[in-house]
């Protein structure tokens, strides 16, 4: 490599990163699916002719990390490149190929320049509805959950397969939104392809491979250097979580070698009869995300930075659910895997790993009761996203009411009340919910919701950490568990369908994060400040933190 090439490669690398961000933005802006626009639940990437991922947009939810990289490899093998024509686009929503449930559609497009395929663009987006029982955990198998489109050609030489689109629309409660979202995906692939060709023209590059090698080699080297800082060994962790019918044990064994990290889920419980099972690609996405937050977090996602992280699991365990297990709510458990991984990593690098957090999102999907529609009342369907506290960090408190590992935005009350006939009576942090420690866990929040118009409505709950709170680390204490109830009735389980009658109030308390280190070692000023700010009680300050009253 000549000295001039080094900067030229880097400029082109930066350009690729800008292109995928541009692709991602275009997709988010045109999306209909609320989870896409609020949470950036998409991915967009550029691949070389060997289907190695060169760049991926950094978006709000990590659920597509690695999944897209693997999916494109699959499609690349499935469809021979020689047979591809300019303007072709391939598609699938197979949960075991794309991103873990039917709602995620993945597209891949070959990029042609001067008559040859020079690379691929790809993107994934969450479609609103694919028929079946819809986005809930009630399906008995994936057939109950809606339409599965196997790998196929969506666009043939620029011509959209109209029949295929009709099938997708005919099998959806939201056909128009689905069509809109598929068009957005097509546009996203095309924008990426156009920009890639423009870049190659501008820089006078006919072959992307030297640049690809530069990106992948540089990233691999940086990642291996970061892994080398982790003491080699085998680290095991197990954690109990709520599950659906019964509690579930998740097990992880992390093997750290000089140049790779391998996570295995052996020992993890088998699948649930309900749709909370997780295909391995999705469990991998969140596990690798968790590791990459700690190890080489400054290196962009690409084939080079991802290849040193491997995730395996015995087929049939709940983190490697096999077809045709129901998987619609795979994110509820998928988002718990970072805590499983961190329990392993903490043994290797104790001063760099946060305590457990609320982790799984606290969603509030709500819609009108069936008879409201029949009687001509106000119909609505919204999905409010809320969160608990994150785990305390080795040198800082946890973050109160903040999403991690997901990157969702919380819903604001004034918007909620405009789009749905509900009244939020309260939304405040939960004093005392952060796990005590030298560094305190982030606090959860308390939300109270009631009907605003004397009509009943339904809520679909699928959360975690009701029975098993976020544990502390290094002597830190657990955060408060989540808690949900209707008025003064008994507490609700973590997954259920609920009907809220006029006059009834849903109390929805999200969990706090775990603490880090011995509470007695917390700086006295910080204990006093927490007390002054009303984040802990006088009793906690005295009894747990050992603050002497003055």
Partner 1 sequence: MNSQNDLNADLRLAVDIGGTFTDVVLVDGNNRSLATTKTATTPDNPTRGALVGVRQVIDQAGVSLNQVVGFIHGTTLATNALIERRGAVVSTITTHGFRDILEIAYERRYSQYDINIEKPDFIVPRSRSFTIPERLSVNGDVLTPLNEGAVDALVEQLESVRTEAVAICLLHAYANPDHEQRLKTLLLERRPDLVISLSSDVSPEAREFERLSTTIANAYIQPLMSRYLDAFAKDFAKEGLTCPVLMMTAGGGMTTLETAARFPIRLVESGPAGGAILSADVSAQAGYDRVLSFDMGGTTAKLCLIDDHQPQTTRQFEISRAARFIKGSGMPVRIPVVDMIEIGAGGGSIASVDRLGRLTVGPRSAGSEPGPAAFDKGGVEATVTDSDVALGYIDPNAFAEGRLTIDVAKANGALEASVGRDLSLSALRAAEGVSQIVDEAMASAGRMHAVESGKDLGERVMIAFGGNGPLHATRVARRAGVKKILIPLDPGVGSAVGFLSAPVSFEIVRSRYTLLDQLDPHALNQLFDDMICEAEAVVRAGAPNEELRYERTAFMRYHGQGHEIEAHLEDRAFEGDDIDALRLAFEEEYKRQFTRVVPGMTIEILNWAVRVSTVEKERNVGSTSIAPTQITAKGRRSIQCDVTGGKVEAAVFERKELSPGNAFSGPALVVEPQTTTLVSADFTALVDNQGNLLLKRMINKGDLA
Contact pick of 97, 193, 227, 294 for partner 1 (by CB under 8 A): 294
Question: What's the number of CA atoms in the CB half-sphere (13 Å) around residue 235?
Answer: 21
Token pair recorded at residue 446? 């308390």
C-alpha span between 311 and 263 (Å, rounded): 5
* Residue 360 CB neighbour total at 10 angstroms: 27
Stretch that binds partner 1, among 25-33, 113-121, 315-323, 369-377 (CB under 8 A): 25-33
Stretch that binds partner 1, among 104-112, 405-413, 490-498, 539-547 (CB under 8 A): 405-413
Query: By C-beta, is 487 or 533 nearer to partner 1?
Result: 533
Between vectors from CA 311 to CA 391 and to CA 67, what angle results, nearest 5°? 90
Query: By C-beta, is 243 or 437 nearer to partner 1?
Result: 437
Q: How far is the CB of 67 from partner 1 (least distance, A)?
A: 16
Residues 438-457 that bind partner 1 (CB under 8 A): 443, 445, 448, 452
Size of the site for partner 1 (CB under 8 A): 83
C-alpha span between 502 and 467 (Å, rounded): 29
C-alpha span between 512 and 401 (Å, rounded): 8
Contact pick of 41, 54, 62, 211 for partner 1 (by CB under 8 A): 62
Q: With binding defined as CB under 8 A, does residue 177 bind partner 1? A: yes
Q: With binding defined as CB under 8 A, does residue 178 bind partner 1? A: no
Stretch that binds partner 1, among 106-114, 174-182, 204-212, 270-278 (CB under 8 A): 174-182
Contact pick of 87, 180, 493, 546 for partner 1 (by CB under 8 A): 180
Q: How far is the CB of 113 from partner 1 (least distance, A)?
A: 17
3-state DSSP call for residue 131? coil
Stretch that binds partner 1, among 74-82, 130-138, 253-261, 390-398 (CB under 8 A): 390-398
Residues 6+ apart with CB under 8 A from 493: 242, 466
Q: How far is the CB of 79 from partner 1 (least distance, A)?
A: 27
Contact pick of 156, 395, 497, 502 for partner 1 (by CB under 8 A): 395
Question: What's the number of CA atoms in the CB half-sphere (13 Å) around residue 130?
Answer: 24
C-alpha span between 148 and 167 (Å, rounded): 11
**CA neighbor of 107 nearest in space, from 188, 204, 39:** 188
Q: Are strands 261-264 and 309-312 parallel, antiparallel or unpaired?
A: parallel
Q: How far is the CB of 19 from partner 1 (least distance, A)?
A: 9
Please say whether the beta carbons of 412 and 493 come within 8 A. Answer: no
Q: With binding defined as CB under 8 A, does residue 5 bind partner 1? A: no
Query: By C-beta, is 92 or 302 nearer to partner 1?
Result: 302
Query: By C-beta, is 119 or 300 nearer to partner 1?
Result: 300
Residues 27-46 that bind partner 1 (CB under 8 A): 29-32, 34, 37-38
Query: By C-beta, is 400 or 494 nearer to partner 1?
Result: 400
Q: How far is the CB of 535 from partner 1 (least distance, A)?
A: 7
3-state DSSP call for residue 373? helix
Stretch that binds partner 1, among 80-88, 155-163, 237-245, 426-434 (CB under 8 A): 426-434
Residues 117-146 that bind partner 1 (CB under 8 A): 128
Please say whether the beta carbons of 291 and 308 come within 8 A. Answer: no
Residues 338-367 that bind partner 1 (CB under 8 A): 354
3-state DSSP call for residue 194? helix
Stretch that binds partner 1, among 171-179, 229-237, 256-264, 500-508 (CB under 8 A): 171-179
**153 DSSP 8-state letter:** E
Residues 83-112 that bind partner 1 (CB under 8 A): none
CA 49, 54, 59, 64 torsion: positive or negative?
Answer: positive
Between vectors from CA 420 to CA 416 and to CA 423, what angle results, nearest 5°? 70
Token pair recorded at residue 321? 């659910």
In the shown chain, the binding pattern of residues 254 to 273 toward partner 1, with x for contact by CB under 8 A and - for none, equals --------------------
Q: How far is the CB of 159 from partner 1 (least distance, A)?
A: 16
C-alpha to C-alpha distances, 403 to 52, 188, 209, 516, nearest whole angstrom: 30, 27, 38, 19
Stretch that binds partner 1, among 115-123, 295-303, 501-509, 518-526 (CB under 8 A): 295-303
**CA neighbor of 50 nearest in space, from 259, 304, 230, 288:** 304
3-state DSSP call for residue 174? coil
In the shown chain, the binding pattern of residues 519 to 538 toward partner 1, with x for contact by CB under 8 A and - for none, equals -------------xxxx---
């Amino acid at each position: 490599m000549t000295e001039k090439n080094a900067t030229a490669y880097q400029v082109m690398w930066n350009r690729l990163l800008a292109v995928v961000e541009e692709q991602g933005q275009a997709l988010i802006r045109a999306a209909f699916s609320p989870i896409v626009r609020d949470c950036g639940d998409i991915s967009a990437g550029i691949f070389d002719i060997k289907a190695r991922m060169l760049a991926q947009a950094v978006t709000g939810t990590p659920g597509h990390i690695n999944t897209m990289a693997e999916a494109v490899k699959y499609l690349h093998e499935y469809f021979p490149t020689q047979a591809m024509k300019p303007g072709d686009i391939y598609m699938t929503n197979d949960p075991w190929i794309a991103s873990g449930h039917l709602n995620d559609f993945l597209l891949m497009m070959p990029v042609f320049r001067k008559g040859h395929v020079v690379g691929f663009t790809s993107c994934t987006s969450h479609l609103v509805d694919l028929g079946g029982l819809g986005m809930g955990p009630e399906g008995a198998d994936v057939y109950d959950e809606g339409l599965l489109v196997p790998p196929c050609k969506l666009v043939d030489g620029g011509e959209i397969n109209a029949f295929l689109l009709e099938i997708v629309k005919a099998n959806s409660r939201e056909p128009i939104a689905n069509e809109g979202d598929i068009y957005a995906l097509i546009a996203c692939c095309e924008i990426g392809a156009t920009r890639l060709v423009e870049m190659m023209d501008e820089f006078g590059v006919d072959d992307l491979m030297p640049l690809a090698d530069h990106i992948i080699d540089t990233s691999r080297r940086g990642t291996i250097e970061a892994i080398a800082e982790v003491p080699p060994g085998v680290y095991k962790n197990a954690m109990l979580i709520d599950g659906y019918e019964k509690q579930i044990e998740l097990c992880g064994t992390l093997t750290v070698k000089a140049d790779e990290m391998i996570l295995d889920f052996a020992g993890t419980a088998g699948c649930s009869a309900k749709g909370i099972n997780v295909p391995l690609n999705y469990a991998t996405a969140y596990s690798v995300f968790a590791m990459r937050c700690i190890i080489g977090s400054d290196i962009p996602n690409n084939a080079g930075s991802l290849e040193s992280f491997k995730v395996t699991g015995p087929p049939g365990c709940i983190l490697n659910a096999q077809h045709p297990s129901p998987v619609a709510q795979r994110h509820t458990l998928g988002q718990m895997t970072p805590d499983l991984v961190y329990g392993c990593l903490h043994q290797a690098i104790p001063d760099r790993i946060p305590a457990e957090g609320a982790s799984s999102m606290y969603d509030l999907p709500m819609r009108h009761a069936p008879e409201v529609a029949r009687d001509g009342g106000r119909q609505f369907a919204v999905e409010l996203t809320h969160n608990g506290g994150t785990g305390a960090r080795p040198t800082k408190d946890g973050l109160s009411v903040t999403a991690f590992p997901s990157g969702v935005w919380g819903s604001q009350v004034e918007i909620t009340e405009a789009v749905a006939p509900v009244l939020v009576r309260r939304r405040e942090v939960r004093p005392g919910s952060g796990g005590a420690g030298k560094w305190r866990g982030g606090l959860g929040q308390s939300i109270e919701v009631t009907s605003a118009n004397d009509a009943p409505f339904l809520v679909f709950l699928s959360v975690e950490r009701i029975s098993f709170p976020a544990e502390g680390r290094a002597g830190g204490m657990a955060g408060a568990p989540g808690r949900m109830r209707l008025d003064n009735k008994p507490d609700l389980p973590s997954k259920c369908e609920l009907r809220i009658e006029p006059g009834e109030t849903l109390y929805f308390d999200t969990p706090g994060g775990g603490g880090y280190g011995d509470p007695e070692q917390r700086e006295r000023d910080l204990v006093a400040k927490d007390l002054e700010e009303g984040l802990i009680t006088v009793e906690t300050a005295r009894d747990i933190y050992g603050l002497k009253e003055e």
